[in-house]
Structure 1
Amino acid sequence: MFSFFNSSQSPKVVLTRNLGPDVMPFLERRQDIDLVVWGQDRTCDRKWLLENVQGARALIVILTDSVDQEVLDAAGPQLQVVSTMSVGYDHINVKELAKRNIKLGYTPDVLTDAVADTSIMLALMAGRNARESMTVVNEGKWPEYSWGPFLFAGRQLSASSSSPVRTAGFLGFGRIAQATLTRLIPFGFTHCLYTSSPSSTPTPERDAAIQEAHGLQALRRVDLDTLAAESDIVFVLAPGGAATANLVDEHFLRKMKKTSVLVNTSRGTLVDSHALAKALRERWIWGAGLDVVTGEPQITADHPLVKEPRCIILPHIGSATVETRIDMATLAVKNALAVISGTEMLASLELSS
């Protein structure tokens, strides 16, 4: 544990991971705070957190830290803000924060480009059978194969003479989905479908502007069945939580084209892992690219999805560029410091009790 003590009257800021040399100076050079840092490069020890959060005015966490009623009780009534270095906040009891009038800072926008890049990478890898092909080389089996007209052949992402109409489907159509669509346009995608929460307000003017900007033949908000049936690639980019659990289930997967690809770079809980494994095994769809899986990181070699050669699985690296992680950490710190300084956070979630 690192601790930087000032006066006893200084607001206490607790940080659950050292954020590196590019970001830590924002905190360490402040003479008006009492900074306490979990100094080990692993998940913050729960006992340490419960002991050290006592009396804190600001708590800065990462997505492996559970901020529940126990932590908030331990902190005490003076806690003003919880700031997380993530766009998701499933690890935080939002209702408890609202009840206690504690602000919540998070880090949207700064990871949009990195996750959109990863989404395209997974679409390419899943469509072109990258895992199967790389395994042939890595296991030294390439010499055993003789060239054939369709050896190692996968599905093409870009439009072609045999498939001039390319349709991208998005389960969720927020910032990352729209950034992903932008990256698909040079591949010749002509149509875009998306679903949104039933409670969300339709946005025909926004949709018309996006369609015109990208020169799309169509951009439509549709139901889940239509999304599954008409999309060449389905990108799962909706928030996690109980309301979206297993939206991509056996029913959805059976509706998809046999030539289609599923990509999930949002939350593992949106996709039923066992249904997806069955879909891949029985060839209901062509392939899948996953950056997230339900139960991560406890995904071992005997997991049903790991056993499927046409399933690309990454260890949740969607935002894992040096540039993005520095930006996320910086924003998380600035959010926390803004609240204890009496100014507006750069990115806060509106809470309601």
Structure 2
Amino acid sequence: MKMVIIEPLGVEKDKLLSMAKEALGGRVEIVYHDTKVTGTEELIERGKDAEIIVVSNLPLNENVINGCRNLKLLAVAFTGIDHIAMDACRKNGVTVCNCAGYSTSAVADLVFGMLISLYRNVIPCDRVCREGGTKDGLVGFELEGKKFGVVGTGAIGLRVARIAQAFGCEVLAYSRTVRDVEGVRFVDLKTLLSECDIVSLHTPLNDGTRGLMNRESIGWMKKNAVLINTARGPVVDSDALAEALAEGRIGGACIDVFEKEPPVETDHPLFSAPNIIVTPHVAFATKEALVKRAVIVFDNVAAYLDGTPKNVMG
């Protein structure tokens, strides 16, 4: 059986292949590609003979799935699967497994790294210090005593909630599933947005969450509120957010994800908005998380080969 790792996974090649061989033994022939390609024909060429394809966040459209005629298992080295043509996978009988959980700590770390950078003016402070300036005009804010809203209470959202509590925040949450979480008050979305000083998004991208933060919902937010998105780009209407920032209707934003994977066009509306920190979809990308991810990927492949697939997506 042939397994193609169709793009690099952020772990050194020798280490990655050693992990694969340790997990899978000699049950598969492993082909590893250490460069990223995005063209449909190039992707088909790489995967056309593979029964198993390992992919991270490369978009695999219907043509790619159909072109990989031997494909039986798609091992996605990512939590979300919105970049995969799932209808084509279902039609072709392809099992799809994801890697939930590998980036929980990494994403939560970036939430607070970006937030504190914005609250304490870390980027402008660095610049002005190098230019011989002072703190004048750069006095920041504390987290203690703020109302912190978490939208989506999966593993990442709950970790963010716990860290927010450690900073002395009052935590509110909104989710389709109300949980009994100590110190967390579950409310409807409008209540959360209208009460919270900080709102952090942790929802998957689906029909119910696409455009969740639009002109109307952003309009419910407090004038000094900060919106953080480390979830999926289309959960937020970028034009509406840029307008709200430009008009001073909210206080700031921290954005790690966009409508497409970086590189993002330099004229993106958020890039000219005030009081915003942007990063190129790095929330999941730590050395530790990428190793955890590889472990889960090869464990998923091993489970499939054993006839007991896990982390299977619908």
Mapped pair 1:182 → 2:162: yes
Mapped pair 1:221 → 2:173: no
Q: Give deviations 1:32-52, integer Å, cap 9, x for gaps.
A: 322222233x33554332123
Q: Structure 1's 70 and 296: CA in aligned 2 closer, same or farther, altered over 3 A?
A: closer
Counterpart among 278, 289, 297 of residue 332 in structure 1 = 297
Specify the alignment match of 2:29 in structure 1: 34
Secondary structure of 1:24's partner?
A: helix
* Alignment-mate amino acid for residue 67 of structure 1: L
Specify the alignment match of 2:77 in structure 1: 85
Specify the alignment match of 2:4 in structure 1: 14
Q: What number of residue pairs does the alignment pair up?
A: 309
Deviation of residue 28 (structure 1)?
Answer: 4.7
Counterpart among 51, 55, 58 of residue 61 in structure 1 = 55
* Alignment-mate amino acid for residue 301 of structure 2: A
* Alignment-mate amino acid for residue 62 of structure 1: S
Q: TM-score, normalized by length of structure 1?
A: 0.80
Specify the alignment match of 2:312 in structure 1: 348
Specify the alignment match of 1:97 in structure 2: 89
Specify the alignment match of 1:7 in structure 2: none
Q: Give deviations 1:230-254, integer Å, cap 9, x for gaps.
A: 1111001111134312211122222
Deviation of residue 92 (structure 1)?
Answer: 0.7
Specify the alignment match of 1:195 in structure 2: 174
* Alignment-mate amino acid for residue 286 of structure 2: T
Deviation of residue 152 (structure 1)?
Answer: 0.5
Deviation of residue 121 (structure 1)?
Answer: 1.3
CA distance in 1, matches of 2:220, 2:122: 24
Q: Is the 8 A contact 2:147 2:197 kept in 1?
A: yes
CA distance in 1, matches of 2:238, 2:275: 14
* Alignment-mate amino acid for residue 177 of structure 1: G
Q: Structure 1's 274 and 53: CA in aligned 2 closer, same or farther, altered over 3 A?
A: same
Q: Is the 8 A contact 2:263 2:280 kept in 1?
A: no
RMSD between superposed Cα atoms in Å = 2.2
Q: Is the 8 A contact 1:131 1:309 kept in 2?
A: no
Secondary structure of 1:22's partner?
A: helix
Q: Identical aligned pairs, as a percentage?
A: 28
Specify the alignment match of 2:152 in structure 1: 172
Q: Is the 8 A contact 1:58 1:340 kept in 2?
A: no
* Alignment-mate amino acid for residue 220 of structure 1: F
Specify the alignment match of 2:197 in structure 1: 232
CA distance in 1, matches of 2:126, 2:219: 28
Deviation of residue 22 (structure 1)?
Answer: 2.4
Secondary structure of 2:271's partner?
A: coil
CA distance in 1, matches of 2:155, 2:49: 37
* Alignment-mate amino acid for residue 54 of structure 2: I
Mapped pair 1:308 → 2:267: no
List alignment gaps of at least 5 residues for structure 2. none
* Alignment-mate amino acid for residue 22 of structure 1: K
Q: Give deviations 1:289-342, integer Å, cap 9, x for gaps.
A: 111122341424433212234100011111111010111122112212331342
List alignment gaps of at least 5 residues for structure 1. 1-10, 160-165
Q: Is the 8 A contact 2:66 2:92 kept in 1?
A: no
Q: Is the 8 A contact 1:288 1:312 kept in 2?
A: yes
